Structure 1
Amino acid sequence: MFKPKEITKVIDNISIGYSAPSNIALIKYWGKYPIQIPANPSISFTLQNCKTETFIEAKKKTKPTNTFDIEVLVDGKIREDFKPKILKFFERVEPYFSFLKTYFFKIKTHNTFPHSSGIASSASGFATLASCLVRLEQLLSENETENLDVQKTSFVARLGSGSATRSLSGPMMLWGKHKNIENSQDEFAIPHTDIADVFKTYQDVILLVDKGQKQVSSSIGHELMQNHPFAKSRFEQAYKNMSALIEILNNGDLDKFISITENEALSLHAMMMSSQPYYILIKPKTLNIIEQVWEFRKSTKIPLSFTLDAGANVHLLFPKSHKERVLEFINTSLIGYCQNEQYICDNIGQGVIPLS
C-alpha cells in the first residue's frame, strides 16, 4: 500500500524528534489477525499530557550491511531489553523504507507517564518512532513539504503496536473497517472530527491504581482471543457499539455515551477473565473506584464515567465544565485508592508534533 520512496539525497548525520500522545479507546480493540489487523473496529480519544518524546540520531554507514544497527536509550540509559521489540518492528516495516540498513540509529525515548501500567505507552512510543522514520524518508527523498504523511505514519506505527495507529492526530481517531463509516480502514486509522462541542474539550483523569508491570502483556491477551469461546459475540458487540457511538458523539448524548463506553470497558476485562488461561488485570481498588463513581454520578447527576485499558488504572471521563467538582471528588474520595496518591490530569489533544 505504501511503497518506499526513492532516495535522492545524501544525509550523513541527522537528528529527528517527535512527540506523540497515548490514546484511550472508547470502543476497545481486542483480538487481531496477522499482521496487526484488528478483529473489530475501535475509536479513541487522543490525549494531550500522557505522551512519549523520541529522538532518532541517524548516522549513515560507510557501506550498507545486512543487519539493522540500533541503540535504544530510555530516560538516558541504554536498554538492551527494549532492543528486540524495536528490531522486530524494523523487520516488519523494512518493505516500506529503503534506508533502514544504510544507517546506524540511536533511539532516545522518554515517557511522561509510567510504562506498562495500563496506559498505552507502546501506542505513543511507536507513534513517535514511526513519525521519525517517515519524516526521515521525506527528507531523503527531498520532499519539501513540512507536513508529516500521517496516513503512512499510522500504517507504519500499527506494525509496532495496533493502538499506535490511533495516536497520530486528534481529537479522535478511528481504526478498523466498518461498513457504515466512510474511509475506515484496517491498515491505518483515520481522524474522526464529527463530534459535538462537549467532546472536544473532554477531560481524562487517570487514577494510578498500580504503576507496576502488567502480569500479562497486551500481545498475549490479543492472542488468547483466537480461541476464545466468546470472541465472535464480542466482535459483533464492538461493531454494534461502534455504530451507536458514532451517532452519540455527533449528538452529544452523554447518558448514552456513558452506557456504551462503560460497557466496552467491562467487556474488555470480561474477555480476559474468561479466556483460557484466564487472568485478571484489574485490582480490588479498581472495583472500589468504579463503585464510588457510580454512586457519585447517581447522587450528583454529574456525567462522570470510567473506562479501562488493559490494566488496573482507571480513566475518569467527564466534560470540562465539571472539572472542579470532579477533582474535589477525587481528592476527597478516590485518592486513597491510588498508588502513592498519584493521578494524572489529561484532556483531549491533537496528536503528534515535531520536536526541535
Structure 2
Amino acid sequence: MAELHTSKAPVTADWILQRYMMSPWDNSFYERLGFVLKRDETGKLLPEPKRFQNESMGIAVTAPGREGKTFLVQQVLERLFGEAIDVETSSRQIAYCRLRTDATIKSAYMDICRSTGFEVKNPKLTRAAANDLAMHRLKLAGVKIVVLDEVHNLLRSKSEPVNLFLKTLLQDGGGVCLIVIGTEKLRNFIYDMPENEELAGRLLDFRLDPFSRKQAIDLIALAVSKYAESAKLKLARSITRDVYFHDRIYDGCRGSYGRCMRLIATSIIQALEQGASSLDLADFEAVFDLQFLHFNSENPFRADYQPSSVTSSSVSDLTQLSGDMDDGSSPPKTRGRKRRGKK
C-alpha cells in the first residue's frame, strides 16, 4: 500500500481543497434563494429576506453526510454577497453556526450569539433567556440571513422543541432568512411529520438528489481536467489511456458527488506532495486505500478492477460548464518538483 504524504506543501494542499466545482445544484439553490430574498432594481439578489404576511421564509438543504451541502451553501452565498461564511469569520449580514453533536436549543442560541461576536459566559442562562439574547444580538448586529448547519443534531432528544425553535427564528429573529442544513433525518422531521406542516410551509425543500450516472461522469471528467490544470499537473497515461478511469471514481464513491470531488482533490494533493509533474492512477489508489475503504471495501483503482459499465464523457462537450471552476486567486507557486521515481 502506498503512503499518503501529508507533511509537505500545506498552502498548496489548502488551496486545492478550497477549489469548488459548480454543478446543477448551484442553480437549484440560487433559484430557491430568489423566492426568499429581495432583489435590487437591477434584479440582483440582496442579503435581505422577503416578508410574507410579516414573516420571512427559508430553505432546508438536506442530503446524506459528506455530500457537499455546507460547501455548496457557503460558496453560493459568498459568490453572491462577497462575504466569507464560516465559523471562524463573522459576516456583516450572514450568521453561520455549526451545531455540535450534543447540541441543545439553548446551546444553539448561544452559538448564534457567538456568530455575532458575542460570547455568552453565563452557564446558568435559561433557554428562554438565551432565546431573548440571541434575538437581540441578531437585530443589533443587523444579521439578515442565518445559516444553521448540522441541524439534525438537535433531533437526538425528543424533549427539545425544535419546531418552535426554527419558527421563532423566522418570526422573532427580526425576520431573518433561515437556511438549515442537515441529513435526511432533518428532512423527514420537517416534511413528513404532520405536526410540522406549518414549519414545512416556511422552509423551501432543497434535497440534493443524486445526479444521473452520465451527468456525474461528465462532472467528474471536468473536475479532473480543471483541478489538474489549476495545479499545473499533466494527466499521466495511466489516466488518459484508461477508458474506465472516470467510472472508477464514480463507482468507488458509489455515486456520491461530494466524495468524488474530495477524492479528486486529495489525489491531486498526493501527486503535488510527492513532487510529481503528473497525476497518476497510483495517486488515486493510494488515497482510496487510506481514506475511502471504510466507505467501499473494493478499491476501484487496482489493475484487476473493471466497472459494471463504462460511461463515455467528453470535457470538450461540456461547454456550458467551461467556467465552472470558482474564480479564486491563482494557486501559490510551488518549488521545483522532482520527477516521480519508478515504482
* Same topology, TM > 0.5: no
Structure having the larger proportion of residues in helix:
2
TM-score by length of 2: 0.24
TM-score by length of 1: 0.24
